[in-house]
Chains A and B, each alone.
Chain A
Amino acid sequence: MTIAAEEEMPGAKRRSSLIRSPQFSSLIILIVLLAVFAIADANFLSPLNISNMMAFLPELGIIALGMTLLLTAGEFDLSVGAVFGLAPVVVMLLVQNGEVSIGVALLAGLILCVAIGAINGLIVTKIGISSFLVTLSMLLVVRGAALYITQGFPLKSWDQPGFFVTLLAGSFNIGSFRFYTSLWWFVGLSLLAIYILRYAKLGNWISAIGSNRNAAVARGVPADAVKIWLFILTSVLAGLAGMISAFRISAASPVAGTGYELEVIAMVVVGGTALTGGRGTILGTIVGALMLRAIRNGIVLIGVPGLAYNIFVGVIILAMLILHALLQKNAARS
């Protein structure tokens, strides 16, 4: 081997590791999917359809950001869909029935989310029950609470413009595209999450805890506290997403967000974050969120019968995961 070739090694190595990284393969598949949908139906890339996708994207995407951090630390949260439903229901009930201003109601909703996340986190870390079981139970409790306090009915619509409503669900036009402020929330929170996971001291701790909790604890990393805060963060983001969604459609339903927990986890793992902890990627999650949104939207557009479309979603997710597993195996072998 010549010296010149040796000098080129690090750059080449970095490039090949980027190409082999899970978020990169996800990105390629996303581009392929978008191309296929665009060719199959010209309306896929129409301003109206893109605006539509961009309206839905942040609502699950925001939850997925929290879930990525939590999964990287080795835990997950099945109660996010239920929190997505309960938080806006509580806010709207307070606003409609109580003598409470919208700001106070939103604050109360967020405090409720903090409490739910804290309970999840405390039980998981201090009593040592797996997060699967704890948050599954919490899903039932939270969803049950939403159904009970509304007696199962959607709340009457509430549509009074104001600062907070604009902040959460305002909309604006760029050319013939119509965007919601929720997109800014998603962009801002994504940048923050990327910073935390990749560049901050906290991110180092989160990855270390998910990779080898005992090692992290032995180095003085407060693993339990970090996990509890991540449960709180995930819950708050789920509640925030629920409020954004409710204010966008000016109504809150106790069954909103049903099944979102699995969709969000799918976004995160399709993006390349390991379900077993230690390896997380926010960029991958953003790709994953875009992909699931595009799949749901695209297969309806190209005429797959509505009742059959979960089959396609499931198959595409499975294909993604198989691809990640194969790439992982290849990387380990080389």
Chain B
Amino acid sequence: MVQEVLRLQNLQKSFGSVRALKSASFTLNEGEVVALLGDNGAGKSTLIKAISGVFPVDRGDIYVRGQKVSIRSTRDAMDLGIETIHQDTSLAADLSIARNLFLGREPVNLKWLGVFAPLALAKLRNAASALLKRVGISKKLDADALVSTLSGGERQSIAISRAMQFAAKVIILDEPTNNLGVEETHGVLRFVKEVRDAGHSVLLITHNIHHVFQVADRIIVMRRGEIVAEQTVADTDLLTVESIITGADMSALLRETRTK
């Protein structure tokens, strides 16, 4: 039985006279990796920002587990179990791994002191170590190490672990493999599969179609602010998807160049 986690219905968003998002509707199911593809300016980031609460939509509805919700801030999105991980903007490099993992949700003593409450440092450290162990990167990483000492791939893994930590229903990955080496890219993709197997749903935004075919279950293609195609990975191939993205018939183009 497929369980629906997130459903978007006819989302629209304009910036002045620019209709960045004309209409977007799709459904994300439990334990599924859906890739969101599209050229620059196709409306991917607008859609992601709307779901993660960066700005409100003009029109349209968002449902989480069948419940209609209103997302007005990033906090709202997080509270609903939607965690977004942006390339390079998800971690504070000068803070330790442990402090990053709990940033904004720090365990504290004497809660009544508000922002002046002392961090529960032992608890913070233990929880961070346990989390690192659970996601299988504890051998190399110390919870007290500064994020600035980590590689790009390790940082992505930390950011994704943090999203899992807070039992996120939906994890949105915005270009998670940009600027990563081959080895690290494979590490992150493997991690995405583990995240899915742990029951989380992943919305993956990327430019790299090869990565999509390695991890995604379904592909959604956007062009000029609209969703123009939705296919399961098993039912399609690289060339078809590429031609949908660009709007040109790539397989026909390829045939042409071959015959020449």
Which residues of A in the span 181-214 have a Cβ within 8 Å of any Cβ on B? 195-196, 199-202, 204-205, 207-208, 210-212, 214
A31 at the interface (CB under 8 A from B): no
B108-148 vs A, Cβ < 8 Å mask (1 yes, 0 no): 10000101111101000000000000000000000000000
Contact status of A212 and B104, CB under 8 A, knowing A217-B74, A218-B84: no
A280-309 vs B, Cβ < 8 Å mask (1 yes, 0 no): 000000000000000000000000000000
Residue among A205, A219, A274 with max Cβ neighbours from chain B (10 Å): A219
A215 to B74, CA, bound (A): 11
A218 to B91, CA, bound (A): 10
Contacts of A217 in B (CB 8 A): 74
Interface residues on A, range: 20 to 34
B99 at the interface (CB under 8 A from A): yes
A204 to B104, CA, bound (A): 9
Shortest beta-carbon distance, B19 to chain A, in Å? 26
Contact check, A278 vs B89: say whether CB atoms are below 8 A apart: no
Contact check, B93 vs A211: say whether CB atoms are below 8 A apart: yes
Residue among B93, B103, B118 with max Cβ neighbours from chain A (10 Å): B103
A279 to B86, CA, bound (A): 23
A216 at the interface (CB under 8 A from B): yes
Residue among B73, B86, B116 with max Cβ neighbours from chain A (10 Å): B116
Contacts of B94 in A (CB 8 A): 207, 210-211, 274, 278-279
Q: Which residue of chain B is the closest to A192 with respect to CB atoms?
A: B116
Number of A-B contacts (CB under 8 A): 81
Contact among A196, A202, A215 with B103 in the assembled complex (CB-CB below 8 Å): A215
B92 at the interface (CB under 8 A from A): yes
Contact check, B75 vs A207: say whether CB atoms are below 8 A apart: no
Contact check, B121 vs A199: say whether CB atoms are below 8 A apart: yes
Query: Which label, helix, strand, loop or mixed, suits the secondary structure of the A interface?
Result: helix
Contacts of B104 in A (CB 8 A): 205, 216, 219-221
Contacts of A218 in B (CB 8 A): 74, 84, 86, 89-90
Shortest beta-carbon distance, B254 to chain A, in Å? 41
Contact check, B118 vs A199: say whether CB atoms are below 8 A apart: yes
Contacts of B84 in A (CB 8 A): 218
Q: Given contact pairs A201-B106, A201-B115, A216-B104, enumerate 18 new A-B contacts (beta carbons under 8 Å).
A: A195-B118, A196-B116, A200-B118, A201-B116, A201-B119, A204-B119, A205-B115, A208-B92, A208-B95, A210-B94, A211-B95, A214-B89, A215-B103, A218-B86, A218-B89, A219-B74, A220-B75, A279-B94
What are 20 of the A-B contact pairs (CB < 8 Å)? A196-B116, A199-B118, A200-B115, A200-B116, A201-B108, A201-B115, A201-B118, A205-B103, A212-B91, A214-B86, A214-B89, A216-B92, A217-B74, A218-B74, A219-B103, A220-B75, A220-B78, A221-B103, A221-B104, A278-B95
A interface with B by C-beta (< 8 Å)? 195-196, 199-202, 204-205, 207-208, 210-212, 214-221, 274, 278-279
